[in-house]
Amino acid sequence: MSLLTELEAHAPEYIEWRHTFHEHPELGLETPWTADLVAAKLRSFGIEVTQGVGGHGVVGVLEGSLGPGRTVGLRSDMDALSITETGECPWKSRKPGLMHACGHDGHMTMLLAAAQYLAAHRDFKGKVVFIFQPGEEGAGGALAMIKDGLFERFPVDELYGFHNWTDVPVGEVRCRKGATMAGQDFFAIRVKGKGAHASAPQLSADAALAAAMITTALQQIVSRNIAPLDSAVVSVTKIHTGSAFNIIPETAEVGGCTRFFSDETGALIRERIEAVTKATAESVGCRAEVEFTPVAAVLNSNARLAEELLAAAREVVGDEKASFADIPQMASEDFSYLAREVPGAYGFLGGQAPYGASNLHNPQFDFDDRVLSTGAALWVTIARRRLAAS
C-alpha cells in the first residue's frame, strides 16, 4: 500500500479538522484558540510541544527511534484574513469579518496529519520540528518567532514550506530554485498642504491634487527605473482625503505595496518612491513624508533543497505531476525570513476553490479538501527521505 493510499483512508478525519479550523478563523498574531487546538493535537500524538513562541507560535519536536541525525523543519502558517465570507459551505466562518481565505486552515491540517503519521512511525534518524506560525498575512509572524529565538531554541538543518495554489492543477506540485516569491513592502504617504474654500483654490496648497499627482507619478517607477527583465510592481491601493464637497483638503494619505525579486530592486523602488513623492508634493506647494513597512523578503529557495522537495513530490504524485515552475510568483510569503536564517525550500500544491472563487483572498474561497492527504504525504515523504539520509 502506498503512503498516499494509507493517508487517504484517514481523509474524513483530516476534513473534519480542516472544517473546524475554517469555522474559527483568527487574525494576525492573535491566534490563541488556533494555537491551543494545534498544540492539543500534537500532544495527543505524543509530540513534545512548546507554545508561546513569538506570541502564539507553536513548535512540536519529534525524535526518531534510530538515533541521532539531521533535524528537518516543516512549517505551516495559522492566521486568517479580514474578509467577510460569502460562500455557502456548511463550515462557513462563525466570525463576521474574518475567514480563512488563503488556505491556512488546510496548511495546518496537512502538517498535523503528517505529524500524526510520523509520530506513529518513528523509524528514522534525527528529529522533525513542526513549526506553526501566526501572523503570515503581513503581521510579522515569522520575524516575531525568529526574534523569540526560534532557531536557537529549536535548531534545524533545513526547512520546508508549502502553499496551496489555484494556478496549479489539482494534486500537482511546483517548486523553484532561487527566487520563488516576491519581496514586499507596504508604503504609507502622508501629504500636508493648506486647506481653503473650494471657491478660492488660489489660497490653498491642495493635498487632494498632490495625492492624485503622486498616485500617477508613482506609476512610472517600474516602467522607467526598473530594467524590463527585472519584474516589479508598485501598486497604490488606497487614497484618503477630504471631508466635504466645498473644502479643499489640507491633508491626504496614500498607501500601497511593492513587489520585487532582489534586495537591490527593492531598495531602488523605496528610494524612487520617496524622491518622486516629495518632489511631486512640493511642485504644488505641499510636503510629503513616506514610511515603509517591510512585509516579506524575497523568498529564495535553496537549490539543493528544492531538488529534494521535487524528488519527494515525484515520489508522491508521480514524475508527470511534479516539476520546476518556469517563473516565480509575484505574491509574497514571510517564510522568506525563515529561509534567510536556515537553508529552506518552498513549494506549491495545486488545488481549486469549490465555491466559485478563482483565487486566494477571495470571499468565496475554500480550501480543496481533495488534496489534504496529498499534502500530508508530501510532508511525510520529505521528512523521511531527508532523515533516512542522515
Dihedral angle sign, alpha carbons of residues 211, 213, 216, 221? negative
Total Cβ atoms within 10 A of residue 120 = 9
d(CA 92, CA 210): 43
C-alpha gyration radius of the chain:
23
Query: Could you tell me which of 31, 279, 296, 250 has the C-alpha nearest to residue 143?
Result: 296
Is residue 85 marked as binding?
A: no
Q: What is the 3-state secondary structure (H, E, C) of 30-65?
A: CCHHHHHHHHHHHHHCCCEEEEEECCCEEEEEEECC
Is residue 104 marked as binding?
A: yes
Contact 145, 334 (CB under 8 A): no
- The angle at the Cα of 361, spanning 355 to 362, to the nearest 5 degrees, equals 35
Q: What is the dihedral of CA 263, 265, 266, 268, to 10 degrees?
A: 120
Contact 106, 125 (CB under 8 A): no
H-helix or E-strand spanning residue 99: none
Is residue 89 marked as binding?
A: no
Query: Could you tell me which of 8, 9, 58 has the C-alpha nearest to residue 29?
Result: 58
141-151 core/surface letters (b: 16 or more CB in 10 A; e: else)? bbbbbbeeebb
What does 112-162 look like in DSSP terms, one character per residue? Answer: HHHHHHHHH---SSSEEEEEEES-TTTS-HHHHHHHTTHHHHS--SEEEEE
Is residue 16 marked as binding?
A: no
Contact 322, 313 (CB under 8 A): yes
For residue 97, what is its C-alpha cell?
A: 469579518
Is residue 22 marked as binding?
A: no
Binding residues are 102, 104, 137, 163, 361
Binding residues for Mn(2+) are 102, 104, 137, 163, 361
